[in-house]
């Protein structure tokens, strides 16, 4: 039996002036404590190679509150301060496990104001939510009901760049359960002309939300650039106008992706996608804006966690698999396939739509890996006759060799070496 799913239900709320002032103070104190703890942990590691854990920073928080300089920390609830220390500890855990970069200091202008409250610091009763240090409940717009009989375990209050206030209630959702198993599978090819092309031949249009509001966004950004630098009221207003347009684009895009991914998960047992290097594609100056607007990474993320919720399977096919250049009928591979070619005819006589053919090849490759673990990577040789596997072994040897610095390795052979081939299966399964 699967474990219960924990979900966060996000709602917008409208605080009173007193509540907004209290929350703004809380955000500032949380940011201050986070930065102080990060500075202490960084200094301890840099100078003494000492790891400072959560318990140590929690004791330091008590000492900071006793000082005259930081006595204002006592005016807010202590729970958000303790929670930000736990978040910092998790950030360091992810860093040392090589799952994330080194934690960064929070900036008042760049970071999102947020504070997390545990069950001891809020009261949720009869559809009303009251936070610690507040007399009145928050005026929450309950746009959708919480699961019946469920109480939130944590509450996160945040404010976005557009000035909107949100509250996120994390709770266990018993209504999320695996769907009945079905025997349908689909291959998905992402693109820019069409957002998604399915192996069934269906194509989902790319709404291009950023392009729709690009003129309004450019006008607002020009107005912002003419405002004097600093913390003036007019510049703040102009900045919020820009943020509101960007938030409008983001909200529409996310809503569209939610509908698409929910439909794919409900209608298919197995979904096969390409493991694209989206971050690398964004270095293409001509396509970066369109790729960002398509939000392929967010689509993949939504698809993955919804498949986990509902007992579906997502298979990721290796990014170097020639899905567009391979004929889905005879298996022949063309040497070149420029992006301008949208339809082509194979030597066997089959005529293909480029995207539909790619989606069908992706599906076939994913099902082959799922069934027997067969590799689908095309055979490639590196210059000089060395195989890609040997190049990978040489790269690792140079990287780990004490006689070569990493800078020498990056600027020397590895800078000219071809992309290393994976030594494992060419497709990975995400369950």
- The residues that are catalytic are 189, 274, 355
Relative orientation angle of helices 233-267 and 296-310, to the nearest 10 degrees = 50
How far is residue 36 from each of residues 21, 43, 87, 100, measured CA to CA in Å? 23, 11, 14, 21
Q: Order of strands across the sheet with 5-13?
A: 113-118, 154-159, 165-173, 5-13, 140-141
- What number of residues does the chain have? 431
List, as own/partner pairs, every contact residues 322-326 make where C-beta atoms lie below 8 angstroms and the sequence separation is at least 24, other chains included: 322/361, 322/378, 323/189, 323/274, 323/357, 323/358, 323/359, 323/361, 323/362, 323/365, 324/354, 324/357, 324/358, 324/361, 326/357, 326/361
Q: Give the pair of three-digit tokens for residue 374.
A: 């067969």
Decide: 238 and 227 in contact? Cβ < 8 Å: yes
3-state secondary structure at position 55: helix
Q: DSSP H helical segments within 51-139, as ranges?
A: 54-66, 78-96
Report how far residue 148's alpha carbon sits from residue 108's, in angstroms, rounded to the nearest whole number.
38
Q: What is the distance, to the nearest Å, from the Cα of residue 417 to the centroid of all Cα atoms in its chain?
A: 30
How far is residue 409 from each of residues 49, 67, 382, 390, 399, measured CA to CA in Å? 26, 50, 18, 16, 7
| DSSP assignment of 71-86 | GGGGGS-HHHHHHHHH
Q: What is the CA radius of gyration of the chain?
A: 26
List, as own/partner pairs, every contact residues 71-75 make where C-beta atoms lie below 8 angstroms and the sequence separation is at least 24, other chains included: 72/29, 73/29, 73/32, 73/33, 75/25
Residues 6+ apart with CB under 8 A from 328: 350, 352, 357, 360, 361, 364
């Amino acid at each position: 039996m699967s474990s219960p799913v924990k979900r966060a239900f996000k709602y917008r709320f409208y605080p009173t002036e007193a509540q907004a002032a209290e929350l703004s103070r809380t955000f500032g104190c949380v940011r201050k404590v986070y930065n102080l703890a990060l500075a202490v942990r960084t200094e301890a590691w840099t100078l003494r190679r000492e790891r400072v854990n959560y318990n140590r920073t929690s004791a330091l928080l008590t000492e900071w509150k006793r000082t005259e300089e930081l006595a204002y920390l006592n005016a807010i609830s202590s729970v958000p301060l303790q929670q930000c220390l736990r978040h910092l500890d998790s950030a360091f855990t992810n860093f040392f496990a090589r799952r994330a970069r080194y934690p960064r200091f929070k900036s008042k202008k760049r970071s999102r104001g947020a504070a997390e409250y545990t069950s001891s610091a809020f009261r949720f009763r009869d559809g009303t939510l009251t936070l610690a240090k507040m007399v009145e409940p928050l005026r929450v717009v309950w746009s959708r009901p919480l699961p019946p009989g469920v109480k939130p375990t944590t509450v996160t209050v945040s404010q976005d760049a557009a000035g909107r206030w949100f509250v996120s209630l994390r709770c266990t959702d018993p209504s999320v359960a695996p769907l009945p198993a079905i025997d349908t599978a689909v291959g998905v090819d992402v693109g820019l002309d069409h957002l998604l092309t399915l192996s069934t031949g269906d194509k989902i249009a790319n709404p291009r939300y950023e392009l729709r509001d690009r003129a309004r966004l450019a006008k607002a950004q020009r107005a912002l650039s003419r405002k004097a630098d600093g913390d003036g009221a007019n510049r703040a207003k102009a900045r919020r106008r820009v943020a509101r347009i960007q938030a409008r684009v983001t909200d529409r895009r996310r809503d569209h992706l939610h509908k698409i991914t929910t439909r794919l998960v409900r209608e298919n047992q197995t979904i096969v996608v390409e493991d694209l290097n989206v971050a690398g594609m964004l270095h293409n100056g001509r396509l970066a804006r369109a790729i960002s607007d398509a939000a392929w990474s967010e689509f993949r993320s939504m698809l993955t966690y919804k498949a986990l919720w509902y007992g579906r399977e997502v298979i990721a096919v290796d990014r170097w698999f020639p899905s567009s250049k391979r004929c889905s009928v005879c298996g022949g591979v063309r040497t070149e396939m420029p992006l301008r070619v949208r339809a082509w005819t194979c030597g066997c006589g089959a005529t293909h739509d480029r995207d539909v053919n790619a989606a069908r090849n992706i599906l076939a490759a994913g099902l082959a890996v799922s069934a027997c673990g067969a590799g689908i990577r095309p055979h490639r040789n590196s210059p000089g006759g060395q195989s890609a596997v040997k190049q990978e072994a040489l790269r690792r040897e140079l990287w780990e060799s004490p006689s070569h610095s990493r800078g020498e390795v990056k600027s020397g052979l590895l800078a000219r070496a071809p992309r290393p081939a994976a030594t494992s299966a060419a497709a990975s399964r995400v369950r």
